[in-house]
Structure formats: structure tokens, C-alpha cells
């Protein structure tokens, strides 16, 4: 599982999956599905690469049809569709920016039209810009974090709600940084904490409808966002990611997928308003 990661950088977010050195693992060959999501229909934002692709593949192996909303990396999105369809379920790729409520409305509508309904929503798309000094964060950079990481989660959830029923699930991808903080990621950390507040309040609001709302808080995970965010500042920082965790390494997207399967399935029927931590042993407060 542990792989040596060389210093590297990508010049544009959200980054390109196929440029990662080494390639990430999205699902283990020995992961065996058991039909936990058979007949379910899912929409995953940022599903073309990284954690989003891992969630898509795990959902598909568990029997779900999967739609992904992606920003611009068409080749990555097409590969995710190919991999999902290879699992024997339906796949749909939708291009658009989650910062637009119109895009989110359209993505939900197209998913419902293609699959005949919607049962699982995974808010995962995000941006992360590194800055060691608060004064260096421009208005535009701050607003971009809010538009994607906060507004996008709200827009997708709001559009999906009329189609969700008892037993449905909404899952937000948060971060260890919402709990531990990160001095170089003030804007990102702020949005990740806000996502948790949104999750907890929405879980209370939807409990009597039987719709569960939870979150997953990853630690450092090997995705294109890492070289696309840390790389332009310090390529060596990319190589060092995860070395300060108790497990001493960065995590793979394949190690995230099962947490989303759990929260999406009936296994978590008594779980709402909670956060699952997958972070290599980092201490969490709160």
C-alpha cells in the first residue's frame, strides 16, 4: 500500500488523474461487493478522479447506478464511466461547475431522468489553494473556496431533496482540517468546517423524513488535488504528505470508498449527523 511519491506539481486545479506519479489506487482488486447498494441511484460531485472516482467504483461494485458531475477533465470522467460500466451498472458523466445552482439543478434532473430516481448524494467536489499568509488570500480565492466547497454542497442537496425518500443518504466530504486546522489552508479549512455544520443541521431537519446526512473527513489522500494545490508552492511538500501521520504515509482513494459505502447503505441505518474519520491515525478533537 505504501508507495514512494516523488516531488511533483500540476498547474491547474482540480488536477488530472492520469498525471499522478505513481498512479492512485481507487478500488482494491480484492474488494468484494455484496449488493449493499443494489438498485440504488447515486450522484457524486467531483466523481471523475480521486476520492470521487473511488466512491463511484465502490458504489458500482455494490450494485448502484452512478452519475458523476465533473468540472472539466473529460478524459478522467470518461475513464470513470468506463470503470463503473465494467462493474455492470449504469454510468453517466455530466460536465459543469458546482458553484452554479443552475448546473446543480441540471445535474440532478439528468440523473433522475437517466436512472428513474435518486437515492444517494455525495458532495465531494472541492478546491484547495495554499497560502501561508492571510494577507495573500485574494477576495477571488476566498470566494472561489466558498462558491465550490460550500455553495456547491448546498445547491446539490437542495436540488436533490425533492427526489429523496426514506432510506436515502446525503454524504459530505469534509477534511481532517476541519478538526485540526491547517495554517497554510485557512480558506479551505473554513469551508470544510462549514460543511460539517451544514451536515449536522440538515441531518436534524431531515431525520423525520428518514433521510440520513453524514460526512467523511479524510486525512491526506493521494489525489490530483494534492499536486495541483501544494505542488505549485512546493513540489517537495507533495512528496512529504502523510509522513507525519501515525501510519507514516499518505492514504489511497481505495481506502476511502468503503466508508462511503457504509454511510450510503442500510448498515448505517441508525447513523445520521455523524463524521467518519479516515486519516491514518491523526488525533481528532470535536
Find all residues with CB under 8 Å of 233, minimum gap 6, and list them: 130, 184
The mean of the pLDDT values for the chain is 96
Domain ranges (residues) in the chain: 33-278
* Phi and psi based region of residue 74 (left: phi greater than 0; alpha: psi -120 to 50; beta: remaining): alpha
CA distances from 150 to 103, 115, 162, 188, 271 (A): 15, 27, 20, 10, 23
What span, in angstroms and rounded, lies between the C-alpha atoms of 217 and 17? 21
Per the confidence metrics, is the pTM higher than 0.75?
Answer: yes
Residue of 129, 155, 188, 260 with catalytic role: 188
Per-residue pLDDT of the chain in tens (286 residues, 90 and over written 9):
556 899 999 998 889 999 999 999 999 999 999 999 999 999 999 999 999 999 999 999 999 999 999 999 999 999 999 999 999 999 999 999 999 999 999 999 999 999 999 999 999 999 999 999 999 999 999 999 999 999 999 999 999 999 999 999 999 999 999 999 999 999 999 999 999 999 999 999 999 999 999 999 999 999 999 999 999 999 999 999 999 999 999 999 999 999 999 999 999 999 999 999 999 999 887 5
Residues 33-278, CATH architecture:
3-Layer(aba) Sandwich (3.40)
260 is catalytic: no
Amino acid at each position: 500500500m505504501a508507495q514512494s511519491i516523488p516531488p511533483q506539481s500540476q498547474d491547474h486545479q482540480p488536477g488530472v488523474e492520469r498525471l499522478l506519479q505513481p498512479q492512485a489506487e481507487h478500488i482494491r482488486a480484492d474488494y468484494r461487493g455484496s449488493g449493499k447498494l443494489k438498485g440504488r441511484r447515486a450522484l457524486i460531485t467531483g466523481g471523475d478522479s480521486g476520492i470521487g472516482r473511488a466512491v463511484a467504483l465502490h458504489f458500482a461494485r455494490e450494485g448502484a447506478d452512478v452519475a458523476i458531475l465533473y468540472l472539466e477533465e473529460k478524459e478522467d470522467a470518461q475513464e470513470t464511466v468506463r470503470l463503473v460500466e465494467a462493474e455492470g451498472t449504469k454510468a453517466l458523466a455530466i460536465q459543469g461547475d458546482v458553484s452554479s445552482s443552475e448546473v446543480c439543478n441540471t445535474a440532478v434532473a439528468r440523473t433522475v431522468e437517466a436512472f428513474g430516481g435518486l437515492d444517494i448524494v455525495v458532495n465531494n467536489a472541492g478546491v484547495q489553494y495554499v497560502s501561508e499568509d492571510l494577507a495573500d488570500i485574494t477576495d477571488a480565492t476566498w470566494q472561489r473556496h466558498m462558491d465550490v466547497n460550500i455553495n456547491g454542497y448546498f445547491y446539490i442537496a437542495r436540488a436533490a431533496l425533492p427526489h429523496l425518500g426514506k432510506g436515502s443518504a446525503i454524504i459530505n466530504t469534509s477534511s481532517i482540517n476541519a478538526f485540526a486546522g491547517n495554517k497554510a489552508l485557512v480558506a479551505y479549512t473554513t469551508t470544510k468546517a462549514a460543511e460539517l455544520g451544514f451536515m449536522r443541521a440538515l441531518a436534524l431537519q431531515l431525520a423525520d423524513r428518514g433521510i440520513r446526512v453524514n460526512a467523511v473527513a479524510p486525512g491526506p489522500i493521494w489525489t490530483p488535488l494534492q499536486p495541483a494545490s501544494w505542488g505549485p508552492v512546493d513540489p517537495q511538500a507533495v512528496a512529504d504528505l502523510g509522513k507525519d501521520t501515525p501510519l507514516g504515509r499518505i492514504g489511497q482513494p481505495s481506502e476511502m470508498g468503503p466508508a462511503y459505502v457504509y454511510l450510503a447503505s442500510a448498515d448505517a441505518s441508525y447513523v445520521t449527523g455523524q463524521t467518519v474519520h479516515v486519516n491514518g491515525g491523526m488525533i481528532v478533537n470535536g
